[in-house]
Amino acid sequence: MRIVLAEDSALLRENLIALLVGAGHEVIASAENADELVAAVRADPPDVVITDVRMPPEHSDEGLRAAALIREEFASLPILVLSQYVADAYLPGLLESAGDAGLGYLLKDRVGRVTDFLASLNQVVDGETVVDPEVVRQLLARRSGNGPLTALTPREREVLAQMAEGRTNGSIATTLFVSEAAVRKHVGSIFAKLDLRDDSDRRVAAVLTFLRGSG
């Protein structure tokens, strides 16, 4: 696949390029800041964008804002965002840019697990929403209140968290030591309780509901 990569750390950027090229992909452009990222995508739209959240000059959410701008102009372009830390403040903006295309939010530690990282990249390119398991765990631990997920049973919340990690029903069944039929039943119940009844991608919609706020 053809990739545009944005990362301000020269060492990590070169390591990522070497990893991606070694996996058979083509990095058609690399950027050190958000402006370079947007310009590179406009000049030659890739198959996927990989961008850091924090980039010069302020090192706040420049990468995220660039991703949102890119998604406005290229609605179907998959985007994989890398972050050093679990930062809830960045998630709303990321979700607003999600659209119908693939979206990933991974911690940079995941890059060191090469097989997992490349698998997540492929899922994003295939149109899936993939969230780092550590992000999912920390969000579940932090949230309480009266959000839209309070109607779910503990097991349904477990299944939804696994869905947020990009797992298939079969993978969820293996992880939770239940049958795939049981997982399908839980997924159907999740859709019903979250009132996801139309023909849109209900799996992605359920994951986005989880990320926007948990009860």
* 91 pLDDT above the threshold of 80: no
Domain 2-133 has CATH 1.20.1260.10: no
Mind listing the pLDDT tens digit for each residue in 144-191? Answer: 556 777 888 989 988 988 888 778 899 999 999 999 999 999 999 988
Indicate the pLDDT class of residue 95, thresholds 50, 70 and 90: low
- Give the lowest-confidence range in 23-37, 82-96, 151-165: 82-96
Residue 124: is it exposed, middle or buried by C-beta count within 10 angstroms (0-12/13-18/19+)? buried
In CATH, the architecture of 143-212 is: Orthogonal Bundle (1.10)
Mean pLDDT (the chain, rounded): 84
Report the amino acid identity of residue 166: G
Q: What residue segments make up the domains of the chain, in order of their start?
A: 2-133, 143-212
Report the amino acid identity of residue 52: D
Burial string for 188-212 (b: 16+ CB within 10 Å, else e) reads: ebbeebbebeeeeebbbbbbbbbbe
* 50 pLDDT above the threshold of 90: yes
Rg of the Cα trace of the chain? 17
> Which contacts qualify for 106-110: CB closer than 8 Å, 24 or more apart?
106/80, 106/81, 106/82, 106/130, 106/131, 106/132, 106/135, 107/82, 107/83, 107/132, 107/134, 107/135, 108/12, 108/82, 108/83, 108/84, 109/134
pTM: 0.77
Does the fold of domain 143-212 match that of domain 2-133?
A: no
Q: Are 208 and 95 in contact (CB under 8 A)?
A: yes
Q: What is the pLDDT of residue 215?
A: 46
Q: What is the pLDDT of residue 148?
A: 74
